[in-house]
Amino acid sequence: MGIPMVATGRRWLTVGLGVAILLLALAAGAGRATAEVPVIAAASDLQFALEEIAARFRTDTGQDVKLSFGSSGNFARQIRQGAPFEMFLSADETYVLELARDGFTRGDGDLYAIGRIVLIVPHGSPLQADGLLDDLAAALEDGRLTRFAIANPEHAPYGKRAEEALRHKGIWEAIESRLVLGENVSQAAQFATSANAQGGLIAYSLALSPKVSALGTYALVPEEWHSPLLQRMVLLKGAGPVAERFYAYVQQPAARTVFRRYGFVLPGEEPIN
């Protein structure tokens, strides 16, 4: 009786080991499949445009990318600290060129778009959507303005350009104490179109999205009032084949059409009036 029991135990041990090995193999395969989905760091002004482009990429290629939106300055810092991004789309090419200089990228990348800023005011605001900011200046003087949203100029390119435009108008010092700062321009847009502020300077690409445009009215700020928003993308050192394909896809006509629809000026094209 003892011998059959031992044999049975060995048989079950063998089967158990086989099942365990199979499960480990399946888990490893699933891990590889997950690892093959590249994480793309993208400036938050691209939120609506790039989500649409990524969906088209998925339809056309059967491959997926994971999009992470935030401020370009914060992403540049995270990349230097070893964040596992495979591609970086910055709202200011300076961050890409500095990363390239310091050896974090595959070359200098490519200019993919030029951005614009707008003044947006929510429905019911005492402000007018005046691109020359005349009413904004008047509201500072007559007390109508108490809170105004921009992205943080320290690490968000659209926030920096908003500061430049306000300085150009000569109202930066007067408005600075009334600013509500978003961590990125997407958060600034949320503030500007909610009870958190009476308006704000945000990305044109966000204002054109149905979700944001339904919340208020907007007007373009003259591009001469701030330094250009030259937006550059680059593959990072650890980029895999899916990220490479997505990088190429972003430069194709289908993607360029999406960028254009969200108000971006494309390299070689005339600026928006």
pLDDT in tens, 117-175: 999 999 999 999 999 999 999 999 999 999 999 999 999 999 999 999 999 999 999 99
Q: Do domains 35-114+230-261 and 115-225 have the same CATH topology?
A: yes
State the CATH class of domain 115-225. alpha beta
In the sheet that holds 110-115, the strands lie side by side as 66-70, 39-43, 87-89, 229-235, 110-115
Whole-angstrom Cα distance, residue 231 to residue 206?
Answer: 15
- Contacts of residue 269, defined as CB under 8 A and 6 or more positions apart, other chains included, come to 260
| Among candidate residues 263, 268, 246, 221, the one with its CA nearest the CA of residue 62 | 246
**Per the structure block, which two tokens stand in for 100?**
């390239």
CATH 3.40.50.300 assigned to domain 35-114+230-261? The reply is no
Helix (H) or strand (E) holding 212: helix 210-213
pLDDT tens string 46-86: 999 999 999 999 999 999 999 999 999 999 999 999 999 99
Could you state, in order of their start, the residue ranges of all structural domains in the chain? 35-114+230-261, 115-225
Q: Is 185 annotated as a binding residue?
A: yes
Mean pLDDT of all residues belonging to the chain:
90
Decide: 75 and 47 in contact? Cβ < 8 Å.
Answer: no
- What is the rounded CA–CA span in Å between residue 48 and residue 42? 11
